Structure 1
Amino acid sequence: MTGAPSGDTAAVIDLAAALDRVMGDRAMFLRLLARFAGDYRDLIARLQTAIDADDAVLAQRIAHTLKGAAGMIEALPLRRLALETELALKTDGVAPIALIDALDCALARVLVEVDALLVAQDAPALSAVSSTAASLASPALPVDARDLEQLRAMLDIGDGRAPELVALLRPRLLVTLGTERMAVLETAVRRFDFEHALLVLVHAGAAAAPDFNA
């Protein structure tokens, strides 16, 4: 899985780059893999349903979230195909069957790799949230401004540790954002749609508007 990816010879998952993205935290990387396996195993079926229903907006959103998730785990061939699919849907409102088939095959290859990594690393333990870390967040108080700024910065650069910070700050974020916005934030972060997560914070008045063109 290692090595510099380039074109069709790219590794299914570039493990070295993925670990570098999470600052060498292998346990965190494995938790990202577990989320990916849980959230994207049925993606092609959902994408095809949206396409069959002529819902190009939904189909584009599905491809967009897969693009972000694949990038987070450094599955670059899959990310490239997800980007091509997203652009085709945005431009033409439909994606060629051959492109969807290629996306399906690439996703299947990534899931095989992900499953192998999780089995090797005792996957059930990966989803456990540290009770010590969770206890640091008080449910009675809103989130601290410094913690909010750290979360905003991590989301802004696509830092793979952002989901862990959201989990850690959940009780305080719930006070700050309210139940509805918190649910939207968690869904966006779970899907690695960090741009949407940032906008949730902005609309709640909890962060400055991000500059996506910077």
Structure 2
Amino acid sequence: MNDSAPATPRSALDLDDGLQRLMGDRPLLQRLLQRFRHDYRDAAQEAGALLEAGAAEAARRKVHTLKGAAGMVGAHEVHDLARQIEQQLDAPALHRLDEAMRRLLHKLDGVLPPPASTPPLPAPGPADPIAQRALLNRLALLLDEGNGAAIDLLEQSAAPLIAALGIVTYQEIAEAAHEFDFELALAALLPLL
């Protein structure tokens, strides 16, 4: 089976998958979906403008970031297209990605309240800074060992890790770990320790 293209298109938005990734934390999923809608609304168009301006690597990074964010919230169609486009970046592909984003945004508008000027940030992390530091150190150790338990920790402790790291860094680490690139995941984590 060709890894670059799924046999059948996956759904624009799978809320059950998003909930599973966040251990059933519905309020957190709603905040992440609101943040996604706010931060990535024009991501495909922005990547297209970057590509047209000759900044292909910046366009690729934008698509890469969109891929991670879409995967985190259960936006399978956008995630799958972004994964493909990241490998073969061109204007027609970015146009398809923009169309998929429009379908996703339409779905999000149906399940979220109208967008505010700035969606709320994720809830604050653990009140105990020692527990927070221990969680980050445990993750760093598992990543350093190349231990697959790092993926479990990322999934089981998504809410406190997002609060500690921020959504963008968490997504970067989680995506690298899910691709078994523990070295890249650790490199993203170390500056925050």
The alignment's TM-score, normalised by the length of structure 1, stands at 0.64
Structure 2 letter corresponding to 1:7: T
Q: CA RMSD in A?
A: 3.5
Q: 1:106 aligns with which of 79, 100, 107?
A: 100
Number of residue equivalences: 170
- Asked if 1:193 is matched to 2:172, the reply is yes
Query: 5+ unaligned residues in a row in structure 2: which ranges?
Result: 1-5, 144-149, 177-183
8 Å contact from structure 1 (residues 7, 77) kept in 2: no
Asked if the contact 1:81/1:103 (under 8 Å) is kept, the reply is yes
Structure 2 distance, partners of 1:39, 1:160, is: 25
Ranges in structure 1 where 5+ consecutive residues have no aligned partner: 90-94, 170-184, 207-214
Identity rate of aligned residues, in percent? 32
**4+ long deviations beyond 6 Å:** none
- Matching residue of 1:7: 8
Q: 1:117 aligns with which of 111, 118, 143?
A: 111
Deviation at 1:135, TM superposition (A): 7.7
Structure 1 or 2, whichever has the larger Rg, is: 1
Corresponding position: 1:147 with 2:163: no
**1:136 and 2:127 correspond:** yes
Provide the C-alpha distance between the structure 2 equivalents of 1:67 and 1:186, rounded to a whole number of angstroms: 17
2:113 aligns to what SS in structure 1?
helix
What's 1:87 paired with? Answer: 87
The structure whose RCO (Cα within 8 Å, separation 6+) is larger is: 2
- Distance in structure 1 (CA, Å) of the matches to 2:185 and 2:86: 19
Distance in 1 between residues matched to 2:87 and 2:97, nearest whole Å: 13
Structure 1 residues 150 and 30: CA distance shift in structure 2, 3 A: farther
Task: Give the CA deviation at 1:39.
Answer: 1.0
Superposed displacement of residue 106, structure 1: 0.4
CA distance in 1, matches of 2:69, 2:82: 10
Which AA in structure 1 matches 2:161? L
Q: Which residue of 2 aligns with 1:75?
A: 75
